[in-house]
A and B are shown apart, each in its own frame.
Chain A
Amino acid sequence: MNNIAPKLTPEEYEKNFAEIHPPFSKNSAMVEANRCLYCYDSPCMKACPTHIDISTFIKKIATGNVKGSAKTILESNWIALTCAKACPVAVLCEGACVYNERDEKPIEIGRLQRYAIDWYFGNGMPPLFSPAPPTGKSIGIIGGGPAGLSCAAELCLLGHTVTVYDAKEIPGGLDTWGIAPYKTTQADSIKEVKLVQSLGATIMTKTMVGSDITIDELLKTHNAIFIGVGLNHPSRLNIEGEDLPGVHDALAFIARVTTRKWPSVNVGKRVAVIGAGNTAIDAVTESKRLGAEQVMLIYRRSQNEMPAYEFEYELAKSDGVEFHFLTSPLRIIGNGKVEAIECTRMSLGKPDAEGRRAPIPVPGSEFRIPVDMVIKSVGQNIEESFFSKIPNLKIENGQVVVHPESFQTSNPKFFAGGDCINGGKEVVNAAADGKRAAYGIDQWLRRPANG
């Protein structure tokens, strides 16, 4: 890539990637915790996919029982730190806070949860739970992301032997490799991995199931398998020039940023990001914060159809990102490297199958935008080459089909949860799936005919 944006000073990087929501001091946590009304059967608890008893954990912070607060949180959610820092709280717990109905600022639930969980990790993870007696059953977990870790932790408490297989050198999945550093850090994700290990789970890193170890081998070792592999296959644009040097995949780009080795991540002076989901927002915002001079988000529909959350959009706008709505890329142009992107204007037609208005190219509206780097963020799919190795596994619309309560797949020895069953949701959804799947697995294994 030519036209690499100049590197920033270490201080500038630190400033640009400083936490957007810094931790509470003890005093500010107490003030905020005391503001909580301690609702009964609270709307915030119902809005959380893991149903953390939020008003109870906040009350415990207020009384100075922070250890008990952490226990209340972890009882419902093993990925509590990442969720506290990266959850879209405005559309979940904090969006449901009753203070909204009183036209007042909702309780900062995410930051209070972080306060309790920071305390827990900062105090050496004191034991909170007693595992059930050993069952003698063994479960293999494919993928050490939030779904897999959550499932592993719960299975350990249920008395099972658990091995997690993770392809990367550091487990944690997208918690480790896919969240912007101004939201959370790899270091925090690793704390959650350590928590799961402390409960007894074995984690095999750099172990890609299907190549480093086969499905058959797993079936020989384990009584049941949980699949929490997420979505590993980036969608393609299927346009000319897509494989030119200087065209990147958003998740790979974001993963490099999570390592915090910022000077090693090259960005062009002019960056175009294709797509308008929350990952695209991470890509534009991180590009800008790495020093790109001009960052554009290109989206074929309008702002109304944009999948990114409102607060993510606002963050990118405040970083000076340009939004090109109703614009679709036709081809990426360049002689051995990206030089420009040719686009067409779009208009919105009738609603499509998903109910969103379908974009239609405006004839004769083609134009070029000079760019040095293109980041593709148009979604991810399941890795079909992996799933094809599992016999009798039913997949529909690119998602693994599971029983809604047990999370069992069409192959009874396999259970699944997280992005590979929902098409890509939040960390907290994966955490909820993994925990519930653990109970599905446990109940299935306890039937005499199984296991």
Chain B
Amino acid sequence: MVDLSISCGGIKSPNPFWLASAPPTNSAYQVCKAFEAGWGGAVWKTIGEPVMNVVNRYGSVDYNGQKILGLNNIELISDRPIEVNLREIAETKELWPDRAVIASLMVESDRQVWHDMVMRAIDTGCDGIELNYGCPHGMSERGMGAAVGQVPEYCEMITKWVTEISTIPVLVKLTPNVTDVRYPGRAAKKAGAQGLSLINTINTIMGVNLDTLEVNPSVDGKGGHGGYAGPAVKPIALNMVSQIATDKEIGLPISGIGGISTWRDALEFILLGATSVQVCTAVMHYGFRIIDDLVEGMSNWMEEKKFTSLNQVRGKSLLGISDFGNLNLLYKTTARIDETKCIHCNLCHIACEDSAHQCIDLVAVNGHMQPRVREDDCVGCRLCFIVCPVESCISMVRKDDGTEAITWNELMKQLPQPLTWQALRSFQAKHGIDIH
């Protein structure tokens, strides 16, 4: 029996799947419908200062006929009054006591205003508070959202105003639009936050309409940057989540966000240290119904891998994360093509020929051109493996015997400094490495 329940900074939910603070959590109607479908939690669409939205609000990156590889928006925080949102939060929590209901807040940078807002949120009976320091558009120009999240000192100050009064867990949502996400993360930790949510959306201009020459989306001919999310941002989010998870000063639970569309994505976040995961774009594309596969797929994977609880999964892949200087320089692989599986598209050949190390030849075999690797010249870069459209046709085969390993950092201690090309070349020659 697999247990998917989690507790993220003290916020409990029957599964790790929360709806991110976004359009799908705009109202009690939506959140109740999501809970009905099986979602474990929901971070309410951010409530706070009076705002008024514009249209059009969304832009999409489509790729090779696939819709919404990435989605950006210029929608603001909730455009409904605070009272309405708080009432609906209270009603929802009462109806769904076992689910995580989290109030996302953003008000002006004034201690008293924050105190009032936090107290009113707590009164709804919600399970936690998420501080929206991430919104990169609209609110940031008014000194909120990313304008706070990008300055660790502000982040710490405002978080402190919240934690000093809150009786429920406080998560700080981090913006990725910074040089190093660990600095605002450390500030939140210092200010007493119980957890971190990341990443918020990334600053983007989605594109230009080549007929009108207007940026996309266009608001009556004008437009600008918005917040980017969706499958395309996942690798960026994974990196930042792992940076926070491995930071020795932080040590806070993480609610992972960024392009999570499937249970596979969710597991990757959890393996890199997330406790809960938040989903938005995939729901905006397909609706709440995706929760069925998210939960089922994750449960099946855990059963197959003999895990019974997400505690056993969390952070497991962090052990393998390392700086470049700690990677084994003597690990050697070569590409090998299974000619019985090859369909002769020759994409490996042209990729290697034009972009790698010119070691995949086309050899005439039985009336067609067969790509074949000259293994002695293959540097093991893996580009061919990536472009091959046939599963397990190209494999990367280990060539070294595994008896020797040395990292760059270790090698630099052995070789005379400052390093010369000559010294490096002789190390390579000693190990049969021929760079040509």
Contact = CB atoms under 8 A, between A and B. Distances in A.
A41 B346 contact: yes
A35 B345 CA distance: 13
Contacts of A42: 345-346
A34 B64 contact: yes
Nearest to A99: B343
B65 A31 contact: yes
Nearest to B371: A40
B347 A37 contact: yes
Contacts of A101: 342-344
Given A30-B65, A98-B343, A98-B344, A37 B350 contact: no
A102 interface: yes
B64 A37 contact: no
A43 interface: yes
Contacts of A31: 65
Nearest to A64: B210
B50 interface: no
A102 B66 CA distance: 22
B65 A39 contact: no
**B345, B347, B362 — which one has the most chain A CB atoms within 10 A of its CB?**
B345
Contact of B347 (A30, A40, A62, A99): A40
Interface string B339-366: 0001111110110000000000010000
A62 B389 CA distance: 18
| Majority-rule SS of B interface residues | loop
B368 interface: yes
A311 B349 CA distance: 34
A367 interface: no
Given A34-B64, A62-B64, A102-B390, A40 B343 contact: no
A40 B350 contact: yes
B369 interface: yes
A238 to B, nearest CB: 41
A37 B368 CA distance: 17
A43 B343 CA distance: 10
Contacts of B346: 39-42
Given A37-B389, A102-B390, A43 B344 contact: yes
A38 B389 CA distance: 11
Contact of B368 (A35, A43, A62): A43
A38 B64 CA distance: 12
B143 to A, nearest CB: 42
Nearest to B64: A34
Interface in A10-40: 30-31, 33-35, 37-40
A409 to B, nearest CB: 31
| Majority-rule SS of A interface residues | helix
Nearest to B368: A43
A98 B342 CA distance: 9
The number of chain B residues touching the other chain, given as a range, is: 10 to 19
Contacts of B345: 37, 39-40, 42, 98
Nearest to B369: A41
Nearest to B346: A40
A269 to B, nearest CB: 49
Contacts of B65: 30-31, 33-35, 62
B403 to A, nearest CB: 39
Nearest to B348: A40
A39 B347 CA distance: 6
Nearest to A39: B345
Interface in A23-70: 30-31, 33-35, 37-43, 62
Nearest to A32: B65
Nearest to A55: B345
Interface string B382-394: 0000000110000
A296 B179 CA distance: 79
Interface string B367-389: 01100000000000000000001
A265 to B, nearest CB: 43
Nearest to B345: A39
A389 to B, nearest CB: 43
A168 B278 CA distance: 72
B64 to A, nearest CB: 4
A277 B345 CA distance: 33
Nearest to B387: A37
A101 to B, nearest CB: 4
B352 to A, nearest CB: 11
B362 A102 contact: no
Nearest to B65: A34
A40 B390 contact: no
**B342, B347, B349 — which one has the most chain A CB atoms within 10 A of its CB?**
B347
Interface string B177-221: 000000000000000000000000000000000000000000000
A312 B349 CA distance: 37
A147 to B, nearest CB: 27
B339 to A, nearest CB: 11
A39 B351 CA distance: 11
Interface in B62-85: 64-66
Nearest to B354: A40
A41 B369 CA distance: 9
Nearest to B349: A40
A40 B369 CA distance: 11
A31 B346 CA distance: 22
A94 to B, nearest CB: 14
B414 to A, nearest CB: 43
A214 to B, nearest CB: 47
Contacts of B66: 34
Contacts of A33: 65
Contact of A41 (B362, B389, B390): B362
A360 B39 CA distance: 77
**B64, B343, B346, B369 — which one has the most chain A CB atoms within 10 A of its CB?**
B343
A400 B370 CA distance: 38
A102 B340 CA distance: 11
A156 B362 CA distance: 37
Contacts of B349: 40-41
**A30, A33, A34, A102 — which one has the most chain B CB atoms within 10 A of its CB?**
A102
Interface in A74-105: 98-99, 101-102
A43 B349 CA distance: 14
Nearest to B347: A40
A102 B343 contact: yes
Contacts of A102: 343, 389-390
Nearest to A33: B65
**A34, A40, A99, A101 — which one has the most chain B CB atoms within 10 A of its CB?**
A40
Contacts of A38: 347
A99 B344 CA distance: 10
Nearest to A101: B343
**A34, A38, A43 — which one has the most chain B CB atoms within 10 A of its CB?**
A43
A99 B390 CA distance: 10
A40 B360 CA distance: 13
A70 B346 CA distance: 24
Given A98-B343, A101-B344, 6 more contacts: A34-B65, A35-B65, A37-B389, A39-B346, A41-B362, A101-B342
Interface of B: 64-66, 342-347, 349-350, 362, 368-369, 389-390
29 contacts: A30-B65, A31-B65, A34-B64, A35-B65, A37-B347, A38-B347, A39-B345, A39-B346, A39-B347, A40-B345, A40-B346, A40-B347, A40-B350, A41-B349, A41-B350, A41-B362, A41-B369, A42-B345, A42-B346, A43-B368, A62-B64, A98-B343, A98-B344, A98-B345, A99-B343, A101-B342, A101-B344, A102-B389, A102-B390
**Interface pairs A-B: 8 shortest CB-CB:** A34-B65, A40-B350, A101-B343, A39-B345, A98-B343, A40-B346, A34-B64, A98-B345
